[in-house]
Structure 1
Amino acid sequence: MRFSALFLMLFCLVQLLKAQSVSSIDSLKKALKHTEDELSKLAITNELSEELYKNNPSQALAYAHESELLAQNLGSDSLLNNAYINQATAYLHIGNYPKALQLYQKAIIGAQKLGDSNALFSVYERLGILYHFQNNNRKAIQYFFYALTQFSKKNITNKKLIERKAYLLKNIGIVYNETKNYSMSADYFNQALTLAKQLNNHELMANVLNYQGSLFLNQGNKDLALKQYLEALQLRKESNNKWGLASSYLSIGQYYFNQKDYANAEIYLKEAIESGKQVNFWPNVSMSSLYLYQLYKQKGDYKNALTAFELNNAVNDTLFSIDRVRKMQQLEMQYDFDRKQAELKAQQRKKEMYYWLGTITLFFLLSAVFVLYLWQRNKTKKIELEQLNLQLANQELETDLVTKEQELAAHIKHLSSKNELINEVSEKLLAIKQNVNAKTQNSVQKITMDIQANLQPELLDELELRFQQVNENFYKNLNDKFVDLTPSERRLCALLKLNMSTKDISTMTHQSTKAIDVARTRLRKKLNLTGTDQSLAEFLEQF
């Protein structure tokens, strides 16, 4: 229920400025279409992202991605950092909190490096909102005060900054109210209300009054709570703010519902539903219809309860569809951004390649002119010297070639001889194995394995030595529990503990993979693992 309230609060704030910003957004979009200068484009895309994140975070994210590409192309660290903040804010309102957190942390590093207090304020304030949405009020209040500290560093006269400070104070009041620190909550709500009145911002005033109503209700002062709710409603009626009206009607309807004044509750909840429908404020309609359903159920009016319940289900389905479309749009925009970024990088690489080709060409041209000049001055001497150097170089190359050929031939011969010996001995042993009894066959098989294991004893010995240095008690613990293991089986245990595959062990010991599989099967039997699902590697981890 608390998450729904948080979502409702966010959606309300999103819609409050929607109508006011449409003309501004349209003007910015037109300006962007007719702008060729990259710096002007960057300024417009940044502004569009800041304007849109409240009512269309997916589109805001697209403009923020475009800002990032433009900033990278222009090489502007401050504008690039601003693009990261706008991306993070868009992700925050989309609900992708991990991505938002990652980008905000990146932006903090950039802002601190640049000494940008405005950017730090934006990041800290929105990090506070992020943690508040995640019910982490301790961190939320921490970052809200970090943001407030940035204001203390300068004298604020800009109306937009004063408004942002008022919203920040209001947010601090909300957190203190939720953590039941009511005196601190009242103090910050009063500060926020003072600034809102100073700005003559009716919606901000109504917003603060609404939260003051919640505070008074939590303190048990019902009359004062209702007074604040009604005052907020009146301000929103005067400014004809449909989204604000829907929110106020819901708050008052909830108030009367909790007081069991179902007659008044029904009136305001119905108003909340109608106002919400007019402006597509579906979260408000969902919450209002849910309370109306509970109200009719309490009254025993099951016909109207069913109607309210059906409305609630229909609205929730609409919200789910909107969320699904938004996520699809987000994925499409991320793909488009990645494609554009790849194209930008390809263009940059192409430019760099042309630059280096030009530089190298110029270098060679200058070198050719210089060589030609020297050649003209020292023609005879240069020719003799070049011939001598050429002869020496040829001799050196010939010597080096002969040496490498000899080494290669020797190596090939060694490998050939070794492989022939292995094949010959293995074939003879396999031939003998077919003509002896079962016990002798096991002995022949062991001899075959030992021959192959000793082809490179120094490598296996070195591996075993290093293994013992890392796992000092492995062999001791293994021997204590399984005294009948052979040295080869103990070595196989060590290799398995190192998570080596059958193929890796075969290569290391010069045994066939079939021989290794047989050894593993025999080892499982000795380790009492036959018929279990536990692997040898997992079993040997305990030693």
Structure 2
Amino acid sequence: MRNLIMRIREVDLRFLLTIAFSVALSLLYSQNNDSFDSLSKELIQTNDEKARANILIALSAEVEGNRPENALTYAMSAHEIAVNHHLDKENILSLVRLGNCYMRLSNYREALINADQALELATKLNLKDEIAKSRTILALIYYELGNYEQSAKLDFENLAYYEQVKNQKQIGVVLGNIGIDFISQNNYEKGLEYLKKSFDIAVETNDFRGMSYQYNNIASLYADYFKDYSIALRYFKEALKINKKLDDKQQHGIYLMNIGNCLSKLDENDSVLWYFQSATRIFKGLNNTYLLSKCQSQISSYYLKTNDLHLSILHADTALQIGQKYNYHENIKAAAELLHKINLIKNDTIKAYRYAIIEDEEEDSLVILLNQKEVYKLEFQYSYEKSDKIKQIARQKKENLMVVIIISLISGLVIILLIFSRYRIKAKSVAIEKRSIEKELEFKNKELTINLLSLIKKNEMLSEISNKMVEIGKDAKKDETKDAINKISRELRNSSDDKMMKEFSLRFQEIHSGFYETLLHNYPELTQNELKLCAFLRLNMSTKDISELTGQRFLTIDQARFRLRKKLGITNSETNLVTFLSQI
């Protein structure tokens, strides 16, 4: 009888799977009645959907061992609530739980589908812890199907994550699982190395459960593969001692059974029966039929070894009945094999033949199950490769799309830079042209101003001459002479004014073309004198300059400016008239 080795997968959900090396079977998780009753009461009392989903997930884990169908129902209900109320985290955890339940029921197809969905959703939402939990159940499914390489790959991915987040406890758990992956591939030395690493971390983190599990695993390795039962016995007893602090009855029974098996190998038969009977009492109290059936077979083997055939038959028959009731194929085969041997010893060939038939039938059932696992393994390998190929194609398409987008962005950026560069060159050219025009305009304005000043001087000279002639006319004796002088004075004055204004208008139009047209278009009621005033102001001429040029008084010019503001619609006293006209 092989010792039981602990492969821990989900500490947070308190899910424990125990694996026998010979057939990689699942050990039933015993139901804690107090815990079940407490959870059931909470489920009835709460109306919060998130709380209900989490309670149902916990209930599923609680009853999975003895009632896997009920566990599946709880998990389905939790998943339904999570989906209907958009509870992402609970959705993922319920999918993980469904994967566990389907695996328990040997429905590996559904187990893998749900585990894959959990991983996909967790990855999409970038929920790191849930990604790790999803990988955990996937690793366990592949382990159960004998795909140890894929199981180890997922375990190593989890190890990398837990090292990144520095979760020492989970690092220890994953190291233990990796150790079992190596052992399952017959790499016992490497497996032992990882089990010891897991144990050391359990000691560092004060994780008593982890310590007891790895003591048991190391002991099983020494017993089953190195055949060193003395070392194995020492480790088993250490596991039992630590477990007493945890008060975990199921594990206590497992350790007692493993110690009894180890003592039997060492032929220390005095205490073997006590360990097996103690384990039996625990499994009966927990109503763990699977372990009870297994323990009964071990007790039967002990009595067969001590030639007590009556008691050997009694316990083997009990193991057989339990196995047949719950369809535990391996336990049925082991019990039938014992009964076959016992009846051969008793020379009861008819009964021996009957049990041999049962043994062969169960052997066939186990072969069918094994073949079914192989078929599932091949099918899943095909599905995995197909899915991986589809993902690779999708990833390649995505990468190609990203390349196209990047190239498009780069091309767009280059085009924008070219356009911007062209715009800058054009803007620079326009700026240069504008500065050139402004300089030319400034030059012409200066030229016009100089001309105006020259005209003003000429006008002043003519006015002075005209005034002197008026004075001379006053001194003239004859009226004809006076009239002639006055007439010449007036003509001289009028002629100079007209010539000056014509020359000013001509020069102003050359420099500020369109100024008069724009003014007349926007303000058609403006008079010729007002247009001239606008031109003077456009040149930023002061009232004094305008007065000297036109001969008008300051007051007259100020009044003209007031009327002009009114016609131009400038009601705001803060608006400067010169500035306003300079913008036209």
One-letter amino acid of the structure 2 residue matched with residue 173 of structure 1: A
138-147 vs 291-300, greater mean Cα deviation: 138-147
Q: What is the alpha-carbon distance in structure 1 between the residues aligned to residue 284 and residue 255 of structure 2?
A: 16
Which is richer in helix? 1
- Residue 346 to residue 67, structure 1, CA distance change in 2 (3 Å): farther
Match of 1:170 in 2: 216
One-letter amino acid of the structure 1 residue matched with residue 271 of structure 2: L
- Residue 94 to residue 215, structure 1, CA distance change in 2 (3 Å): same
Q: Deviations over 1:272-319 (max 9, x none)?
A: 111011111100111111121111112111000110011111111112
Mapping of residues 113-512 of structure 1, within 5 Å: 115-133=166-184, 137-156=188-207, 162-178=208-224, 179=226, 181-182=228-229, 184-348=231-395
- Residue 118 to residue 56, structure 1, CA distance change in 2 (3 Å): farther
One-letter amino acid of the structure 2 residue matched with residue 152 of structure 1: V
Q: What is the alpha-carbon distance in structure 1 between the residues aligned to residue 407 and residue 390 of structure 2?
A: 25
Q: Give the conservation status (yes or no) of the 8 Å contact 2:337–2:356.
A: yes
SS state at 2:25 partner? helix
- Residue 317 to residue 367, structure 1, CA distance change in 2 (3 Å): same
Q: Give the conservation status (yes or no) of the 8 Å contact 1:282–1:319.
A: yes
- Residue 373 to residue 121, structure 1, CA distance change in 2 (3 Å): closer
State the TM-score, normalizing by the size of structure 1: 0.59
Q: Give the conservation status (yes or no) of the 8 Å contact 2:2–2:22.
A: no
One-letter amino acid of the structure 1 residue matched with residue 218 of structure 2: I
One-letter amino acid of the structure 2 residue matched with residue 167 of structure 1: Y
Q: Give the conservation status (yes or no) of the 8 Å contact 2:135–2:155.
A: yes
Q: What is the alpha-carbon distance in structure 2 between the residues aligned to residue 298 and residue 15 of structure 1?
A: 37
Q: What is the alpha-carbon distance in structure 2 between the residues aligned to residue 29 and residue 361 of structure 1?
A: 47
One-letter amino acid of the structure 1 residue matched with residue 249 of structure 2: H
One-letter amino acid of the structure 1 residue matched with residue 269 of structure 2: K
Q: What is the alpha-carbon distance in structure 1 between the residues aligned to residue 344 and residue 230 of structure 2?
A: 37
Q: What is the alpha-carbon distance in structure 2 between the residues aligned to residue 299 and residue 282 of structure 1?
A: 26
Q: What is the alpha-carbon distance in structure 1 between the residues aligned to residue 413 and residue 186 of structure 2?
A: 68
Q: What is the alpha-carbon distance in structure 1 between the residues aligned to residue 106 and residue 169 of structure 2?
A: 24
Higher Cα radius of gyration: 2
Q: Deviations over 1:473-529 (max 9, x none)?
A: xxxxxxxxxxxxxxxxxxxxxxxxxxxxxxxxxxxxxxxxxxxxxxxxxxxxxxxxx
Q: What is the alpha-carbon distance in structure 2 between the residues aligned to residue 364 and residue 88 of structure 1?
A: 46
Give the CA deviation at 1:269: 0.7
Q: Deviations over 1:53-89 (max 9, x none)?
A: 5664835444444444445545667665555444333
Q: What is the alpha-carbon distance in structure 2 between the residues aligned to residue 358 and residue 227 of structure 1?
A: 74
- Residue 132 to residue 15, structure 1, CA distance change in 2 (3 Å): farther
Q: What is the alpha-carbon distance in structure 2 between the residues aligned to residue 51 and residue 184 of structure 1?
A: 36
Give the CA deviation at 1:165: 3.6
One-letter amino acid of the structure 2 residue matched with residue 330 of structure 1: K
1:11 paired to 2:58: no
Q: What is the alpha-carbon distance in structure 1 between the residues aligned to residue 282 and residue 269 of structure 2?
A: 20
- Residue 351 to residue 312, structure 1, CA distance change in 2 (3 Å): same
Give the CA deviation at 1:254: 1.0
Give the CA deviation at 1:97: 3.1
Q: Deviations over 1:106-132 (max 9, x none)?
A: 554555455443443233212333444
Q: What is the alpha-carbon distance in structure 1 between the residues aligned to residue 20 and residue 72 of structure 2?
A: 27
Q: Give the conservation status (yes or no) of the 8 Å contact 2:89–2:130.
A: no
Give the CA deviation at 1:210: 0.7
One-letter amino acid of the structure 2 residue matched with residue 92 of structure 1: Y
Q: Give the conservation status (yes or no) of the 8 Å contact 1:67–1:83.
A: yes
Give the CA deviation at 1:357: 5.3
Q: Deviations over 1:236-262 (max 9, x none)?
A: 112221111111111101111122221
SS state at 2:356 partner? helix
Q: Give the conservation status (yes or no) of the 8 Å contact 1:6–1:133.
A: no
Q: What is the alpha-carbon distance in structure 2 between the residues aligned to residue 356 and residue 134 of structure 1?
A: 42
Q: Deviations over 1:175-224 (max 9, x none)?
A: 34444555543443233223433333222111111111112223332131
Q: What is the alpha-carbon distance in structure 2 between the residues aligned to residue 376 and residue 103 of structure 1?
A: 57
Q: What is the alpha-carbon distance in structure 2 between the residues aligned to residue 133 and residue 372 of structure 1?
A: 66
- Residue 176 to residue 331, structure 1, CA distance change in 2 (3 Å): closer
Q: What is the alpha-carbon distance in structure 2 between the residues aligned to residue 165 and residue 52 of structure 1?
A: 29
Q: What is the alpha-carbon distance in structure 1 between the residues aligned to residue 217 and residue 78 of structure 2?
A: 35
Q: Give the conservation status (yes or no) of the 8 Å contact 2:216–2:255.
A: yes
Q: How many aligned residue pairs are there?
A: 377
Q: Give the conservation status (yes or no) of the 8 Å contact 1:14–1:55.
A: no
Match of 2:479 in 1: none
Q: Give the conservation status (yes or no) of the 8 Å contact 2:28–2:290.
A: no
SS state at 1:313 partner? helix
Give the CA deviation at 1:226: 0.4
State the TM-score, normalizing by the size of structure 2: 0.55
One-letter amino acid of the structure 2 residue matched with residue 197 of structure 1: K
One-letter amino acid of the structure 2 residue matched with residue 258 of structure 1: K
Match of 1:506 in 2: none
Q: Give the conservation status (yes or no) of the 8 Å contact 1:15–1:55.
A: no
- Residue 54 to residue 141, structure 1, CA distance change in 2 (3 Å): farther
One-letter amino acid of the structure 2 residue matched with residue 289 of structure 1: A
One-letter amino acid of the structure 2 residue matched with residue 123 of structure 1: V
Question: Which sections of structure 2, spanning at least 5 residues, go unmatched?
Answer: 5-18, 31-63, 430-584
- Residue 285 to residue 376, structure 1, CA distance change in 2 (3 Å): closer
Q: Give the conservation status (yes or no) of the 8 Å contact 2:142–2:148.
A: yes
Match of 2:500 in 1: none
Mapping of residues 83-98 of structure 1, within 5 Å: 83-98=134-149
Give the CA deviation at 1:331: 3.4
